[in-house]
A = this chain, B = another copy of it.
Amino acid sequence: MNTSSAVLSRPTTACSARINGRRLWDALMSLAGIGATPKGGVCRLALSDLDKQGRDLVVQWAEDANCTVRIDTVGNIFMRRAGHDNNLPPVMTGSHIDTQPTGGKFDGNYGVLAGLEVIRTLNDHNIQTIAPIEVVVWTNEEGSRFVPVMMGSGVFAGAFSLEHVLAQTDREGYSVGSELQRIGYAGSAPCAQFPINTYFEAHIEQGPILEATDTTIGVVTAALGQRWYDVIVTGMEAHAGPTPMELRKDALLAASRLIETVNRIALGHAPHARGTVGWIDAFPNSRNVIPGTVKLSVDLRAANDDVLSLMDDELKAACGALNDAGQVSVALEQVVYFPPQPFHNEQVAAVRDAADQLGLSGMDIVSGAGHDAVYLARVAPTAMIFIPCKDGISHNEIEDAAPEHIEAGCNVLLLAMLTRAGIAQS
Protein backbone atom coordinates (compact mmCIF):
# COMPACT_ATOMS: atom_id res chain seq x y z
CA MET A 1 0.00 0.00 0.00
CA ASN A 2 1.22 3.42 -0.91
CA THR A 3 1.18 5.36 2.32
CA SER A 4 0.64 8.63 0.54
CA SER A 5 -2.66 7.48 -0.80
CA ALA A 6 -3.91 7.29 2.77
CA VAL A 7 -3.96 11.07 3.08
CA LEU A 8 -5.72 13.75 1.17
CA SER A 9 -3.76 16.67 -0.12
CA ARG A 10 -5.50 19.97 -0.33
CA PRO A 11 -4.71 22.23 -3.24
CA THR A 12 -1.86 24.66 -2.67
CA THR A 13 -4.12 27.51 -3.67
CA ALA A 14 -5.79 27.00 -0.34
CA CYS A 15 -2.51 27.51 1.49
CA SER A 16 -2.40 30.98 2.93
CA ALA A 17 0.86 30.48 4.79
CA ARG A 18 3.55 33.01 3.96
CA ILE A 19 7.18 33.07 4.91
CA ASN A 20 8.60 35.54 7.45
CA GLY A 21 10.58 37.97 5.36
CA ARG A 22 12.18 39.67 8.31
CA ARG A 23 13.40 36.36 9.76
CA LEU A 24 14.87 35.34 6.41
CA TRP A 25 16.61 38.69 6.02
CA ASP A 26 18.07 38.47 9.51
CA ALA A 27 19.31 34.94 8.83
CA LEU A 28 21.02 36.20 5.67
CA MET A 29 22.66 39.00 7.63
CA SER A 30 23.78 36.68 10.42
CA LEU A 31 25.37 34.26 7.99
CA ALA A 32 26.97 37.20 6.16
CA GLY A 33 28.67 38.14 9.43
CA ILE A 34 30.88 35.08 9.08
CA GLY A 35 33.66 36.24 6.78
CA ALA A 36 32.28 39.76 6.46
CA THR A 37 34.52 42.13 4.52
CA PRO A 38 34.95 45.85 5.20
CA LYS A 39 33.19 46.69 1.93
CA GLY A 40 30.03 44.87 2.96
CA GLY A 41 30.71 41.60 1.20
CA VAL A 42 31.69 38.14 2.34
CA CYS A 43 34.87 36.11 1.92
CA ARG A 44 34.09 32.56 2.98
CA LEU A 45 36.05 30.19 0.81
CA ALA A 46 35.06 26.56 0.52
CA LEU A 47 36.29 24.32 3.37
CA SER A 48 37.96 27.18 5.23
CA ASP A 49 37.53 27.81 8.94
CA LEU A 50 34.89 30.37 8.05
CA ASP A 51 33.06 27.87 5.85
CA LYS A 52 33.01 25.54 8.86
CA GLN A 53 31.54 28.32 11.02
CA GLY A 54 28.90 29.05 8.39
CA ARG A 55 28.03 25.36 8.03
CA ASP A 56 27.84 24.93 11.81
CA LEU A 57 25.42 27.85 12.06
CA VAL A 58 23.15 26.54 9.30
CA VAL A 59 23.19 23.03 10.77
CA GLN A 60 22.34 24.43 14.19
CA TRP A 61 19.41 26.34 12.71
CA ALA A 62 18.21 23.21 10.89
CA GLU A 63 18.41 21.12 14.06
CA ASP A 64 16.56 23.82 15.96
CA ALA A 65 13.87 23.49 13.28
CA ASN A 66 13.65 19.75 14.01
CA CYS A 67 15.42 18.66 10.85
CA THR A 68 17.58 15.58 10.69
CA VAL A 69 20.97 16.33 9.24
CA ARG A 70 23.27 14.06 7.30
CA ILE A 71 26.59 14.84 5.67
CA ASP A 72 27.83 12.99 2.64
CA THR A 73 31.38 12.07 1.68
CA VAL A 74 31.97 15.29 -0.24
CA GLY A 75 30.59 17.43 2.57
CA ASN A 76 27.15 18.16 1.11
CA ILE A 77 24.74 18.81 3.99
CA PHE A 78 21.19 17.39 3.70
CA MET A 79 18.70 18.82 6.21
CA ARG A 80 15.41 16.92 6.16
CA ARG A 81 12.03 17.83 7.52
CA ALA A 82 9.96 14.67 7.72
CA GLY A 83 6.83 14.39 5.64
CA HIS A 84 3.76 12.29 6.16
CA ASP A 85 5.25 9.57 3.98
CA ASN A 86 8.97 9.38 4.41
CA ASN A 87 9.34 6.67 1.82
CA LEU A 88 8.49 9.22 -0.83
CA PRO A 89 11.29 10.99 -2.63
CA PRO A 90 11.86 14.38 -1.02
CA VAL A 91 11.09 17.75 -2.50
CA MET A 92 14.49 19.33 -2.32
CA THR A 93 15.86 22.84 -2.42
CA GLY A 94 19.22 24.36 -1.67
CA SER A 95 22.30 26.05 -2.99
CA HIS A 96 25.73 26.79 -1.50
CA ILE A 97 27.24 28.95 1.22
CA ASP A 98 30.83 29.19 0.01
CA THR A 99 31.64 32.56 -1.60
CA GLN A 100 34.03 34.19 -3.98
CA PRO A 101 37.03 35.93 -2.32
CA THR A 102 35.21 39.22 -2.83
CA GLY A 103 31.72 37.78 -2.83
CA GLY A 104 28.41 39.10 -1.66
CA LYS A 105 25.82 38.19 0.96
CA PHE A 106 23.22 36.65 -1.34
CA ASP A 107 24.79 34.44 -4.00
CA GLY A 108 24.13 30.86 -2.83
CA ASN A 109 23.30 31.84 0.73
CA TYR A 110 19.86 32.97 -0.37
CA GLY A 111 18.99 29.57 -1.82
CA VAL A 112 20.00 27.75 1.37
CA LEU A 113 18.35 30.13 3.81
CA ALA A 114 15.19 30.45 1.71
CA GLY A 115 14.94 26.66 2.05
CA LEU A 116 15.44 26.93 5.81
CA GLU A 117 12.82 29.67 5.95
CA VAL A 118 10.35 27.41 4.13
CA ILE A 119 10.90 24.80 6.84
CA ARG A 120 10.54 27.36 9.61
CA THR A 121 7.31 28.60 8.02
CA LEU A 122 5.93 25.08 7.75
CA ASN A 123 6.77 24.62 11.41
CA ASP A 124 5.08 27.90 12.35
CA HIS A 125 1.89 26.81 10.60
CA ASN A 126 2.08 23.17 11.64
CA ILE A 127 1.88 22.14 8.01
CA GLN A 128 2.76 18.54 7.37
CA THR A 129 3.81 17.83 3.81
CA ILE A 130 3.14 14.48 2.26
CA ALA A 131 6.64 14.08 0.83
CA PRO A 132 9.58 15.08 3.02
CA ILE A 133 11.26 18.43 2.46
CA GLU A 134 15.02 18.57 2.18
CA VAL A 135 17.32 21.56 2.17
CA VAL A 136 20.84 20.99 0.85
CA VAL A 137 24.09 22.90 1.17
CA TRP A 138 26.26 21.86 -1.77
CA THR A 139 30.02 21.91 -1.21
CA ASN A 140 32.22 24.34 -3.12
CA GLU A 141 29.98 25.75 -5.79
CA GLU A 142 32.21 28.74 -6.47
CA GLY A 143 35.39 26.92 -7.35
CA SER A 144 37.50 29.83 -6.10
CA ARG A 145 39.70 27.78 -3.81
CA PHE A 146 39.30 24.35 -5.38
CA VAL A 147 38.34 23.42 -8.92
CA PRO A 148 36.08 22.18 -10.39
CA VAL A 149 33.23 24.55 -9.67
CA MET A 150 29.90 23.06 -8.52
CA MET A 151 31.89 20.29 -6.93
CA GLY A 152 29.40 18.85 -4.45
CA SER A 153 26.44 18.84 -6.82
CA GLY A 154 28.70 17.58 -9.61
CA VAL A 155 29.75 14.49 -7.64
CA PHE A 156 26.14 13.97 -6.58
CA ALA A 157 25.00 14.02 -10.20
CA GLY A 158 27.85 11.82 -11.38
CA ALA A 159 29.67 14.53 -13.35
CA PHE A 160 32.93 13.53 -11.68
CA SER A 161 34.09 10.97 -9.18
CA LEU A 162 34.46 11.41 -5.44
CA GLU A 163 38.09 10.30 -5.63
CA HIS A 164 38.85 12.94 -8.24
CA VAL A 165 37.49 15.85 -6.25
CA LEU A 166 38.88 14.71 -2.88
CA ALA A 167 42.35 14.80 -4.43
CA GLN A 168 42.03 18.38 -5.71
CA THR A 169 44.34 20.84 -3.95
CA ASP A 170 44.32 24.57 -3.38
CA ARG A 171 47.31 26.83 -4.13
CA GLU A 172 48.88 25.96 -0.77
CA GLY A 173 48.61 22.25 -1.51
CA TYR A 174 45.75 21.41 0.88
CA SER A 175 43.40 18.82 -0.57
CA VAL A 176 39.62 18.77 -0.55
CA GLY A 177 39.74 15.47 1.32
CA SER A 178 42.03 16.69 4.08
CA GLU A 179 40.19 19.99 4.46
CA LEU A 180 36.84 18.19 4.75
CA GLN A 181 38.35 16.08 7.54
CA ARG A 182 39.87 19.12 9.22
CA ILE A 183 36.62 21.08 9.40
CA GLY A 184 34.60 18.04 10.37
CA TYR A 185 32.49 17.75 7.23
CA ALA A 186 33.83 14.54 5.73
CA GLY A 187 30.52 12.75 6.21
CA SER A 188 29.66 9.10 5.99
CA ALA A 189 26.55 9.27 3.77
CA PRO A 190 27.33 8.16 0.24
CA CYS A 191 27.47 11.00 -2.25
CA ALA A 192 25.29 9.53 -4.96
CA GLN A 193 21.97 10.33 -6.52
CA PHE A 194 18.78 9.02 -4.93
CA PRO A 195 15.17 9.51 -5.98
CA ILE A 196 14.17 13.16 -5.73
CA ASN A 197 10.66 14.42 -6.41
CA THR A 198 11.84 17.90 -7.42
CA TYR A 199 14.85 20.12 -6.96
CA PHE A 200 14.17 23.85 -6.74
CA GLU A 201 16.84 26.49 -6.31
CA ALA A 202 16.15 30.11 -5.48
CA HIS A 203 18.92 32.49 -6.49
CA ILE A 204 19.60 36.12 -7.23
CA GLU A 205 19.64 36.61 -10.99
CA GLN A 206 23.27 37.82 -11.07
CA GLY A 207 22.27 39.75 -14.16
CA PRO A 208 20.35 42.92 -15.00
CA ILE A 209 17.27 41.64 -16.84
CA LEU A 210 14.71 41.47 -14.01
CA GLU A 211 15.71 44.85 -12.67
CA ALA A 212 15.68 46.40 -16.15
CA THR A 213 12.18 45.07 -16.75
CA ASP A 214 10.93 45.74 -13.20
CA THR A 215 10.04 42.08 -12.74
CA THR A 216 10.08 40.37 -9.35
CA ILE A 217 10.28 36.69 -10.28
CA GLY A 218 12.40 35.08 -12.99
CA VAL A 219 10.90 31.73 -13.99
CA VAL A 220 14.07 29.98 -15.09
CA THR A 221 13.37 27.70 -18.01
CA ALA A 222 16.92 26.59 -18.81
CA ALA A 223 20.58 27.27 -18.29
CA LEU A 224 22.83 28.33 -21.14
CA GLY A 225 25.37 25.88 -22.48
CA GLN A 226 28.95 27.03 -22.15
CA ARG A 227 32.17 26.54 -24.03
CA TRP A 228 35.30 28.03 -22.51
CA TYR A 229 38.58 28.35 -24.36
CA ASP A 230 42.18 29.31 -23.78
CA VAL A 231 43.70 31.24 -26.65
CA ILE A 232 47.37 32.01 -27.23
CA VAL A 233 48.25 34.54 -29.91
CA THR A 234 51.92 34.46 -30.85
CA GLY A 235 53.56 37.25 -32.81
CA MET A 236 57.00 38.73 -32.34
CA GLU A 237 57.93 41.22 -29.69
CA ALA A 238 59.81 44.21 -31.06
CA HIS A 239 60.69 47.78 -30.22
CA ALA A 240 57.71 50.07 -30.63
CA GLY A 241 59.85 52.84 -32.10
CA PRO A 242 62.07 51.32 -34.77
CA THR A 243 59.64 48.73 -36.11
CA PRO A 244 57.58 49.97 -39.07
CA MET A 245 53.88 49.22 -38.98
CA GLU A 246 54.04 46.92 -42.00
CA LEU A 247 56.75 44.70 -40.50
CA ARG A 248 55.00 44.11 -37.18
CA LYS A 249 53.68 40.89 -35.77
CA ASP A 250 51.58 42.51 -33.08
CA ALA A 251 49.94 39.85 -30.92
CA LEU A 252 47.80 42.40 -29.06
CA LEU A 253 46.40 43.91 -32.24
CA ALA A 254 45.43 40.42 -33.41
CA ALA A 255 43.95 39.66 -29.97
CA SER A 256 41.89 42.85 -30.21
CA ARG A 257 40.40 41.66 -33.46
CA LEU A 258 39.54 38.36 -31.82
CA ILE A 259 37.82 40.18 -28.94
CA GLU A 260 35.75 42.13 -31.45
CA THR A 261 34.91 38.88 -33.24
CA VAL A 262 33.79 37.14 -30.04
CA ASN A 263 31.41 40.03 -29.44
CA ARG A 264 30.13 39.86 -33.01
CA ILE A 265 29.59 36.09 -32.80
CA ALA A 266 27.38 36.52 -29.74
CA LEU A 267 25.43 39.40 -31.27
CA GLY A 268 24.80 37.21 -34.31
CA HIS A 269 22.90 34.72 -32.18
CA ALA A 270 20.72 37.07 -30.13
CA PRO A 271 19.04 37.10 -27.71
CA HIS A 272 20.42 34.25 -25.61
CA ALA A 273 23.98 33.97 -26.90
CA ARG A 274 26.87 35.43 -24.94
CA GLY A 275 30.50 35.98 -25.86
CA THR A 276 33.05 37.28 -23.41
CA VAL A 277 36.80 37.76 -23.17
CA GLY A 278 37.29 38.13 -19.43
CA TRP A 279 41.03 37.81 -19.02
CA ILE A 280 43.95 38.88 -21.11
CA ASP A 281 47.68 38.81 -20.44
CA ALA A 282 50.15 40.42 -22.79
CA PHE A 283 53.89 39.73 -22.85
CA PRO A 284 56.23 41.41 -22.21
CA ASN A 285 53.58 44.03 -21.33
CA SER A 286 55.93 46.97 -21.61
CA ARG A 287 54.71 50.25 -23.04
CA ASN A 288 57.35 50.60 -25.75
CA VAL A 289 57.49 46.99 -26.85
CA ILE A 290 55.11 45.48 -29.41
CA PRO A 291 53.48 42.54 -27.59
CA GLY A 292 54.86 39.23 -28.78
CA THR A 293 52.43 36.93 -27.01
CA VAL A 294 48.92 37.47 -25.74
CA LYS A 295 46.93 34.91 -23.79
CA LEU A 296 43.20 35.35 -23.41
CA SER A 297 40.08 33.47 -22.46
CA VAL A 298 36.95 33.12 -24.54
CA ASP A 299 33.59 32.25 -22.97
CA LEU A 300 30.75 31.41 -25.37
CA ARG A 301 27.24 30.60 -24.16
CA ALA A 302 23.98 29.71 -25.86
CA ALA A 303 20.62 28.24 -24.93
CA ASN A 304 20.73 25.69 -27.73
CA ASP A 305 23.53 23.23 -28.40
CA ASP A 306 23.30 23.66 -32.17
CA VAL A 307 23.76 27.40 -31.77
CA LEU A 308 26.68 26.83 -29.41
CA SER A 309 28.28 24.56 -32.01
CA LEU A 310 27.79 27.21 -34.68
CA MET A 311 29.45 29.77 -32.44
CA ASP A 312 32.31 27.35 -31.87
CA ASP A 313 32.67 27.00 -35.65
CA GLU A 314 32.72 30.77 -36.07
CA LEU A 315 35.36 31.19 -33.38
CA LYS A 316 37.55 28.53 -34.99
CA ALA A 317 37.11 30.20 -38.36
CA ALA A 318 38.15 33.57 -36.93
CA CYS A 319 41.28 32.04 -35.39
CA GLY A 320 42.00 30.29 -38.66
CA ALA A 321 41.68 33.55 -40.58
CA LEU A 322 44.15 35.24 -38.23
CA ASN A 323 46.53 32.33 -38.72
CA ASP A 324 46.13 32.50 -42.48
CA ALA A 325 46.86 36.23 -42.50
CA GLY A 326 50.35 35.19 -41.45
CA GLN A 327 51.29 37.92 -38.98
CA VAL A 328 50.55 35.84 -35.91
CA SER A 329 49.69 32.29 -35.02
CA VAL A 330 46.65 31.54 -32.91
CA ALA A 331 46.23 28.44 -30.75
CA LEU A 332 42.71 27.72 -29.51
CA GLU A 333 41.93 25.11 -26.88
CA GLN A 334 38.51 24.34 -25.43
CA VAL A 335 38.86 23.87 -21.67
CA VAL A 336 35.25 23.65 -20.45
CA TYR A 337 32.03 22.40 -21.99
CA PHE A 338 28.61 22.42 -20.36
CA PRO A 339 25.74 21.51 -22.63
CA PRO A 340 22.67 23.73 -22.42
CA GLN A 341 20.39 22.42 -19.66
CA PRO A 342 16.65 22.81 -20.08
CA PHE A 343 14.71 22.67 -16.82
CA HIS A 344 11.63 20.50 -16.37
CA ASN A 345 8.22 21.61 -17.56
CA GLU A 346 6.16 20.64 -14.55
CA GLN A 347 8.64 22.13 -12.12
CA VAL A 348 8.99 25.32 -14.15
CA ALA A 349 5.20 25.53 -14.25
CA ALA A 350 5.07 25.17 -10.48
CA VAL A 351 7.30 28.23 -10.15
CA ARG A 352 5.30 30.20 -12.67
CA ASP A 353 1.99 29.28 -11.02
CA ALA A 354 3.28 30.17 -7.57
CA ALA A 355 4.31 33.63 -8.77
CA ASP A 356 0.88 34.08 -10.38
CA GLN A 357 -0.88 32.94 -7.24
CA LEU A 358 1.07 35.49 -5.22
CA GLY A 359 0.27 38.24 -7.71
CA LEU A 360 3.94 38.79 -8.40
CA SER A 361 5.24 39.98 -11.75
CA GLY A 362 7.15 37.19 -13.43
CA MET A 363 8.89 36.40 -16.65
CA ASP A 364 10.54 33.40 -18.21
CA ILE A 365 14.29 33.75 -18.14
CA VAL A 366 17.30 31.67 -19.09
CA SER A 367 20.13 31.38 -16.61
CA GLY A 368 23.42 32.51 -18.06
CA ALA A 369 25.42 31.30 -15.10
CA GLY A 370 26.18 27.84 -13.82
CA HIS A 371 24.35 26.70 -10.69
CA ASP A 372 24.13 23.53 -8.64
CA ALA A 373 20.67 23.20 -10.22
CA VAL A 374 22.30 22.62 -13.60
CA TYR A 375 23.89 19.40 -12.31
CA LEU A 376 20.79 18.45 -10.32
CA ALA A 377 18.71 18.70 -13.50
CA ARG A 378 20.64 15.69 -14.80
CA VAL A 379 19.26 13.48 -12.02
CA ALA A 380 16.05 15.15 -10.82
CA PRO A 381 13.18 17.25 -12.18
CA THR A 382 14.49 20.75 -11.58
CA ALA A 383 13.56 24.41 -11.80
CA MET A 384 14.98 27.67 -10.49
CA ILE A 385 13.54 30.88 -9.11
CA PHE A 386 15.39 34.12 -9.78
CA ILE A 387 14.93 37.41 -8.02
CA PRO A 388 16.47 40.74 -9.09
CA CYS A 389 19.79 41.91 -7.71
CA LYS A 390 20.86 45.54 -7.62
CA ASP A 391 22.38 46.68 -10.92
CA GLY A 392 22.72 43.03 -11.89
CA ILE A 393 25.91 42.85 -9.85
CA SER A 394 27.13 39.62 -8.28
CA HIS A 395 30.45 38.03 -7.36
CA ASN A 396 31.15 41.39 -5.84
CA GLU A 397 31.13 42.77 -2.31
CA ILE A 398 28.50 45.34 -3.30
CA GLU A 399 26.08 42.62 -4.43
CA ASP A 400 22.67 43.61 -3.07
CA ALA A 401 19.02 42.58 -3.24
CA ALA A 402 15.84 44.21 -1.98
CA PRO A 403 14.17 42.72 1.13
CA GLU A 404 10.82 42.60 -0.70
CA HIS A 405 12.36 40.55 -3.51
CA ILE A 406 14.10 38.26 -1.03
CA GLU A 407 10.72 37.67 0.60
CA ALA A 408 8.80 37.29 -2.67
CA GLY A 409 11.20 34.68 -4.06
CA CYS A 410 10.97 32.67 -0.87
CA ASN A 411 7.17 32.72 -0.94
CA VAL A 412 7.32 31.41 -4.50
CA LEU A 413 9.64 28.66 -3.28
CA LEU A 414 7.26 27.82 -0.43
CA LEU A 415 4.25 27.49 -2.69
CA ALA A 416 6.11 25.63 -5.43
CA MET A 417 7.52 23.15 -2.91
CA LEU A 418 4.09 22.63 -1.40
CA THR A 419 2.65 22.01 -4.85
CA ARG A 420 5.20 19.29 -5.41
CA ALA A 421 5.21 17.84 -1.88
CA GLY A 422 1.51 18.01 -1.20
CA ILE A 423 -0.03 18.89 2.15
CA ALA A 424 -1.23 16.14 4.45
CA GLN A 425 -4.66 16.72 5.90
CA SER A 426 -4.28 18.10 9.36
Contacts and interface: CB of A to CB of B under 8 A. Distances in A.
Interface stretch (A32-40, A89-97, A279-287): A279-287
B285 A282 contact: no
Given A247-B212, A279-B287, A299-B288, A241 B263 contact: no
Contact of A247 (B276, B285, B392): B392
A236 B255 CA distance: 21
A259 B252 contact: yes
Given A236-B393, A252-B259, 6 more contacts: A228-B288, A244-B274, A250-B263, A256-B259, A256-B260, A278-B282
A256 B207 CA distance: 24
Interface string A261-279: 0010011001101111111
Contact of A278 (B209, B212, B240, B246): B240
A400 interface: no
B241 A396 contact: no
Contacts of A266: 245
Contacts of A287: 228, 278-279, 297, 299
Interface stretch (A172-180, A355-363, A365-373, A405-413): A365-373
A250 B250 CA distance: 22
A392 B244 CA distance: 11
- Which of A205, A266, A274, A281 has the most CB atoms of chain B within a 10 A radius of its CB? A274
A206 interface: yes
Interface string A144-177: 0000000000000000000000000000000000
A396 B237 CA distance: 9
Contacts of A207: 238-239, 241-244, 247
Given A278-B285, A290-B278, A241 B224 contact: yes
Interface size class of A (residues with CB under 8 A): 35 or more
Given A393-B238, A395-B289, A253 B263 contact: yes
A221 interface: no
Contacts of A259: 252-253, 256
Contact of A245 (B242, B244, B263): B263
B275 A369 contact: no
A125 interface: no
A44 interface: no
A229 to B, nearest CB: 9
A392 B243 contact: yes
Contacts of A235: none
Interface in A3-56: none
Contacts of A274: 240-241, 243-245
Contacts of A182: none
- Which of A242, A260, A271 has the most CB atoms of chain B within a 10 A radius of its CB? A242
Contacts of A139: none
Contact of A244 (B209, B240, B241, B370): B209
Nearest to A149: B288
A422 interface: no
